[in-house]
């Protein structure tokens, strides 16, 4: 297999699965997790099925155990751990969770949502030398805000544009990835693009063409890649999408982050879904 320049992360919440992917590929550069994936972890599912719902503390402790098992399996792209937040969670509350999560493993990236409070939490975090991954990104303006909010970070910050969820609403999700990559050519390189919500081999291969620094991929797509003998895109590769094209915007990365339009319906819906999934595991939903 020709190892791609793009780092490959496993998008999941089950250490067994990560171990299996590592055997399949021979390497795993990193891992991303989120509240929905943690709720699907087999051990958590067994607990819920046996009638035991978790307290908030137990949920954090289970999440900690999961990422501590995954951490040594991951390469230098680290393990992304997402804070539990809803639409009312303040930046300081996210930051407090993030700080605790960052102490769990030596290779943590803390995931904050791409909202005003999430970006404030990210700003506080990078000032403390923490690594961050800004998730639920659906637009170039949001990525520009991530760039501006994390300027000065000593460690690379990740931004995660969600491809599949844009495709689901009839847009060409890969356009956002391509536009962000193009925009960052004018930047200082402190934000790396981590393509997320990957659903197909075509998504994966186009990420290789665009040379996204990282891509997070569900095990079943990696299994397909392995079973087809690890194809790589050739010069003729053309990415085909039936979604509406998303045009490139000329944006000045030196603007303050608050001046970018960071509202996106899918960010709001994404937070709602994460909240619904983790609340379903709790004994006393907030």
The contact set with ligand E4P (CB under 6 A) reads: 11, 32, 34, 135, 160, 162, 164-165, 196-197, 216
- Residue 277 beta carbon to ligand E4P: minimum distance, rounded to whole angstroms: 10
All residues at 6 or more sequence positions from 268 whose CB lies less than 8 Å from its CB, including other chains? 87
CB neighbours of residue 160 within 10 Å: 26
* Biggest distance spanned by C-alpha atoms of the chain: 55
Tell the smallest beta-carbon distance from residue 183 to ligand E4P (Å): 20
Query: Which H or E element spans position 167?
Result: helix 163-168
Whole-number minimum distance, CB 204 to ligand E4P, in Å? 12
β-strand partners of 161: 137
Return d(Cα 30, Cα 260) in angstroms, integer: 30
What are 88-95's contacts with CB under 8 Å, separation 24+?
89/117, 90/117, 91/117, 91/118, 91/120, 91/121, 91/124, 92/121, 92/124, 94/118, 94/121, 95/121, 95/124, 95/125
- Min dist CB 79 to ligand E4P, Å, is 11
- Given the complex with ligand E4P, which of 4 and 113 has the nearer CB atom? 113
Closer to ligand E4P by Cβ: residue 216 or 251: 216
Decide: 216 and 32 in contact? Cβ < 8 Å: yes
Annotation says 220 is catalytic: no
Q: Which of 111, 151, 181, 235 is catalytic?
A: 111
Side-chain half-sphere CA neighbours of 198 within 13 A? 32
Which residues are marked as active site? 111
């Amino acid at each position: 297999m020709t190892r791609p320049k793009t780092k490959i992360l496993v998008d999941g919440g089950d250490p067994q699965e990560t171990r299996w992917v590592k055997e399949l590929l021979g390497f795993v550069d990193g891992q991303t997790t989120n509240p929905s994936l943690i709720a699907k972890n087999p051990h958590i599912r067994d607990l819920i099925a046996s009638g035991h719902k978790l307290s908030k503390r137990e949920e954090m402790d289970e999440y900690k155990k999961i990422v501590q098992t995954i951490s040594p399996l991951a390469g230098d792209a680290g393990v992304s751990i997402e804070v539990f937040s809803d639409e009312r969670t303040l930046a300081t509350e996210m930051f407090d969770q993030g700080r605790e999560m960052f102490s769990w493993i030596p290779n943590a990236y803390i995931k904050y949502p791409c909202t005003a409070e999430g970006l404030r939490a990210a700003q506080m975090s990078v000032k403390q030398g923490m690594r961050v991954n800004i998730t639920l990104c659906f637009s170039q303006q949001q990525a520009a805000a991530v760039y501006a909010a994390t300027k000065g970070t000593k460690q690379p910050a990740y931004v995660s544009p969600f491809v599949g969820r844009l495709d689901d609403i009839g847009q060409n999700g890969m356009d956002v990835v391509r536009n962000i990559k193009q925009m960052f050519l004018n930047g200082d390189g402190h934000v790396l693009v981590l393509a997320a919500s990957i659903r197909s081999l075509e998504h994966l291969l186009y990420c290789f063409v665009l040379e996204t620094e990282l891509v997070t991929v569900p095990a079943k797509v990696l299994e397909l890649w392995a079973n087809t003998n690890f194809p790589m895109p050739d010069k003729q590769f053309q990415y085909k999408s039936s979604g509406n094209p998303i045009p490139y915007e000329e944006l000045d990365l030196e603007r303050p982050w608050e001046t970018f339009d960071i509202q996106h319906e899918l960010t709001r819906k994404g937070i709602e879904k994460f909240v619904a999934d983790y609340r379903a595991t709790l004994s006393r939903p907030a």
